[in-house]
Amino acid sequence: MSSPFQGARPAPAPRHIAIIMDGNGRWAARRGLPRAAGHREGVLAVRRTIEAAIGHGVEWLTLFAFSSENWRRPIEEVTDLTFLLRHYLRAELRELAEAGVRLHVIGERDRFGPSLQAELAEAEARTAANRKLNLVIALSYGARAEIATAARRIAAAVAAGALDPAAIDETLFATHLATAGMPDPDLVIRTSGEQRLSNFLLWQAAYAELVFDEALWPDFGAANLGQAIAEYARRERRFGARPEPVPPPAAGAGG
Ligand code: IPE
Ligand code: IPE
Ligand code: MG
């Protein structure tokens, strides 16, 4: 669709936003509460963010909920987090499904118990026909492990004589990642003021715009998402090419 404003080129809204939801522990600590309280409050921010993303017409929203490295936390915290996840699925699935959300899970799901794995698979199957928003939950996800797994699968195909090494390019490689078939994130947001990726979507975020928000995740909401999208709209994405040349003056102008 062409813009009615000659020459004005509003930046397209991000099609895929990925969020590193950080700061639950600090949110709780500041209130003298246990970390679990911060995680619980974080679930409310997830709800607000999904709603706001739908409002902005975002097609894909990826939420980093638990990293491969988060298994290093004390067992009590890991248990709290898996409990919350299960509770979230049970409490919100119907509403998500009715809102047209399709759920996808990426990460090492086999590191969770069989019943949680079954619930995840069930949630994905139940929402598979939905098209309004693709919600990707990254669970026990780590980009280096994901890339190593892809390399192993490709090597196995080569060893089996099913794949010519000359056919391995970026496109083929990406089909072996957990995110196969998903668009790359346009915008990666991290909350809590930390400015690092912590092993999140290292391949996929190669050209993502990064926005760091000082808000702790439980305080994140529609306004924060709106600000991040506005910031994204001000960025110029070049993908290594030259910046867009300034359009020439209209014919007849000047000498
Ligand atoms: C993010 O909050 C949630 C997870 C990593 C699971 P944190 O638990 O990392 O909170 P901080 O960073 O300690 O404040
Ligand atoms: C990143 O946060 C992982 C998630 C938000 C799920 P962390 O709190 O685990 O990251 P680091 O340890 O501060 O890098
Ligand atoms: Mg953290």
d(CA 84, CA 39): 8
d(CA 144, CA 61): 21
d(CA 232, CA 237): 9
* Closest CA to ligand 2's atom 10: 198
Ligand 3 (ion): residues with CB under 5 Å are: 22
Q: Where are the alpha helices (DSSP H) in the chain?
A: 24-30, 35-55, 75-98, 114-126, 143-159, 170-174, 222-234
Q: What lines the ligand 2 site, CB under 6 Å?
A: 20-22, 64-67, 70, 194, 196, 198
Which amino acids are annotated catalytic? Answer: 22, 70
One digit per residue, the tens of pLDDT, for the chain of length 255 reads 444 444 445 567 899 999 999 999 999 999 999 999 999 999 999 999 999 999 999 999 999 999 999 999 999 999 999 999 999 999 999 999 999 999 999 999 999 999 999 999 999 999 999 999 999 999 999 999 999 999 999 999 999 999 999 999 999 999 999 999 999 999 999 999 999 999 999 999 999 999 999 999 999 999 999 999 999 999 999 999 987 776 777 765 543
User: What number of other Cβ atoms are within 10 A of residue 202's Cβ?
Assistant: 13
Among 166, 122, 116, 176, smallest CA distance to 146 is for 176
C-alpha of residue 155 to centroid of ligand 2, in Å: 31
* Closest CA to ligand 2's atom 9: 70
C-alpha of residue 55 to centroid of ligand 3, in Å: 28
**pTM of the entire predicted model:** 0.93
d(CA 8, CA 83): 49
Which domains does the chain possess? 16-142+184-233 (3.40.1180.10)
Out of 43, 192, 212, mutate this one to test ligand 1's pocket (max ligand atoms within 8 Å of CB): namely 192
